[in-house]
Chains A and B, each alone.
Chain A
Amino acid sequence: MSVTVVPARRARETLVVRRWSWWARATHAVLALSVFGLILTGMPMHYADAFWAEPLLWLWRGERGAAAVHKVCAVGFLSSAAMHVLGMLAAWATGRWRLRSLLDEDSILPRWRDVRQVGEFIRYLKGEGPRPEFARFTFWEKFDYLAEVWGLIIIGLTGLVMWFPGKFLAFLPGWLVNAARIFHSYEAILAMGFLFTVHYFNTHLRPEVFPVDEVIFTGNIPLHEVRERYPGWYRRVANSPHVFRARTGTGWMALLISGFYLSVGFVILMLVMTTAALEAVRYFGWLLTGRG
């Protein structure tokens, strides 16, 4: 018996450009899965007295189960970082990627141009100017990537400090364990809030692609989309051998996965934001009145 994946809609052959290699997509899958696990176990531990904490912890058979799953996901989280670094090393060793390309127009590292494009983009959204000539990555996509790298370093390191306090306190002062907890929880709330709003809004929730941007599943981006969204990149890539024909269209699997992530992510975000807002109100009330 053969299983065929039937494209749900927009199934047709068109010109595409390879945006994400299979290794990058695999890295993203490991990252997305482990981050989801980390959020669903970490948030109910952090907000242990919120009304939604106990039902969520029941899912993991209590706080001890949640802590265990959290550590398994933490290994996955750090593996995704290792996969990213290994992928770069392999591409560099085989000559498919050069270190120098980090300084190119289409690099993911920020350039002075990105700062200018923030202002240009705001003027464009207000209807006061043309759309900036984005290269392969827009400034918010670069922020997305660099925030992820920065967040992974902070969350990974502080998580390890709390996981193995004895090992780290052999050479670090004790207050850093307290600092690690503060960094870890705020960075987690920041990362979760960013992923489930900004990251989702700018990928899957754009009206043109809602409810799923297939580029992270197929790795291919239609050439006409490149022309509209990344004109700078289009000029460099349109006549290159990187353009090829491929079938585009959203598969059921991509729809299911994306729908699951979007809905569960939205629910947990709302729960955490409500609790965090209540806590902030309580805290600022205490700050202003001195009574808690």
Chain B
Amino acid sequence: MRVVRPVTRALAVLALAVVVTILPGRAGAQQGSPSPSPSTGPQTNECVGCHALPDIVWADDDRYRPGLLVTREELAGSVHGDFLCTDCHSALGATMHARRDAARDSCARCHAEQAAEYEQGYHGPPGTADTVPKPTCITCHGAHQVQEAETRDFVHRASEQCARCHEQMAERFPGGNPFGMDTHLAGVEVATCADCHGSHLVLPAEDPRSPVNEANILSTCRQCHTNAPPNFVEVQMHIPRGAIPDDPRLRVITIYMLTLLIGTFAFFGYLTILGIRFELRKQAERARAREAGGVL
């Protein structure tokens, strides 16, 4: 396990300071812009000075970057728009960018119930350097553009975040919707990841508390399909589109249909090509006959 030493942190701060000094023109242009600032605290300006630079995103690794880019426009649209950055990022004062997941502690100050659920779930223990990063509050809710979370619209946008880590599901379950319909095309009423797997308390299917556990899955289906019979749970939900499925029965059906498709088009394609050649030959013969007639 890799430990982030204080020396490393100090170096990181130093590096950031160097970057800020090297780019005074751009940072200055940002600060000097006449756009109305919703958060007028000197702290906010200081943070946004760097975080509004589009390049800030690329300082992070490619896999996991929860809203590093902070613009004044985003802040203006947030219900927390009048907060100071360190109201939430309190830990930053001491550690400066050291703990990404420190946001949880800040959110928990007001949202204790959700934070407690989250801590009990699979996503609770923070990710370390040699495990995959775990999502925190801001992964789904956003950092500075926190929106109303009770809407179907939000559930859909939040579920798109799942595929960022669960890449295998992104392929098998595009957009997080049953039968592979894209989230942005399907209506928001269509069930998505969080509707079956839960949101704050996310548990593996083996856990008896999980909504997708064998014992609970039927009642989970019945949230929407009120009269779902017991067989309902046998329907396979994570099926990729267009490929030959793993299930042997579905595999046989797919291969049968593909054979029928290819066979039909091969046979009638052959007949059509023969027919076109026949027509061309007939027309050529007619033209020759006309020519011969003209000569005579």
Contacts of A290 in B (CB 8 A): none
Contact of B225 with A166 in the complex, beta carbons under 8 Å: yes
Q: Which of A10-18, A83-91, A172-180, A226-234 makes up part of the contact surface?
A: A172-180
Q: A174-B233, A174-B234 are in contact. Are A197 and B260 (CB under 8 A)?
A: no
A48-B182, A183-B253 as given contacts; A198 in contact with B235, CB under 8 Å: no
Given A127-B278, A166-B228, A169-B231, the answer on whether A179 and B186 have CB atoms closer than 8 Å is no
A62 neighbours in B (Cβ, 8 Å) = 185, 187
Instruction: Give, as a whole number of angstroms, the nearest-CB distance from B61 to chain A.
Output: 23
Distance between Cα atoms of A22 and B264 in the complex (Å): 31
Write the B225-253 contact mask toward A (1 if CB under 8 angstroms, else 0).
10111011111100101111101011001
B266 to chain A, nearest CB (A): 12
B-side contacts of A53, CB under 8 Å: 185
Complexed CA–CA distance, A45 and B241 (Å): 12
8 contacts between A and B (CB under 8 A): A63-B181, A125-B274, A126-B278, A169-B235, A179-B249, A186-B261, A193-B265, A194-B264
**Complex interface: chain A residues within 8 A of B227 (CB):** 166
Would you give the shortest CB distance from A270 to chain B, in whole angstroms? 15
For A172, the chain B residues whose CB sits under 8 A away are 231
A187 & B271 in contact (Cβ 8 Å cutoff): no
Interface residues of A in 97-133 (CB under 8 A from B): 121-122, 124-127
User: Does chain A have a CB within 8 A of B161?
Assistant: no
With a cutoff of 8 Å between Cβ atoms, the chain A residues found around residue B232 in the complex are 165-166, 169, 174
A57:B225 contact, CB within 8 angstroms: no
Contact B229 A170 (CB under 8 A): yes
Interface membership of A225, Cβ < 8 A: no
Q: How far is the CA of A90 from the CA of B257 in the complex (A)?
A: 36
* Distance in Å: Cβ of B273 to nearest Cβ of chain A: 9
Chain A at the B interface: mostly helix, strand, loop or mixed?
helix
Tally of contact residues, B, Cβ under 8 A:
46
Selected contact of B247 from candidates A45, A169, A175, CB within 8 Å: A175
Evaluate whether A166 and B236 lie within 8 angstroms (CB atoms) in the complex, with A125-B277, A283-B243 already known: no
Query: Please, how many angstroms separate the alpha-carbon atoms of A282 and B171 in the complex?
Result: 13
What's the minimum C-beta distance from A84 to chain B, rounded to whole angstroms? Answer: 22
Contacts of B187 in A (CB 8 A): 62-64
Contacts of B278 in A (CB 8 A): 124-127
B254 contacts the other chain (Cβ, under 8 Å)? Answer: yes
Q: Which of A123-166 contact B (CB under 8 A)?
A: 124-127, 140, 147, 165-166
**Alpha-carbon separation in the docked complex, A31 to B281 (Å):** 36
A54, A165, A207: the one contacting B185 at CB < 8 Å is A54
Given contacts A122-B271, A165-B225, A166-B229, contact A48 B239 (CB under 8 A): no
Whether, in the assembled complex, A286 has its beta carbon less than 8 Å from a beta carbon of chain B, the answer is: yes
| Chain B residues with CB below 8 A from A193, complex form | 261, 265
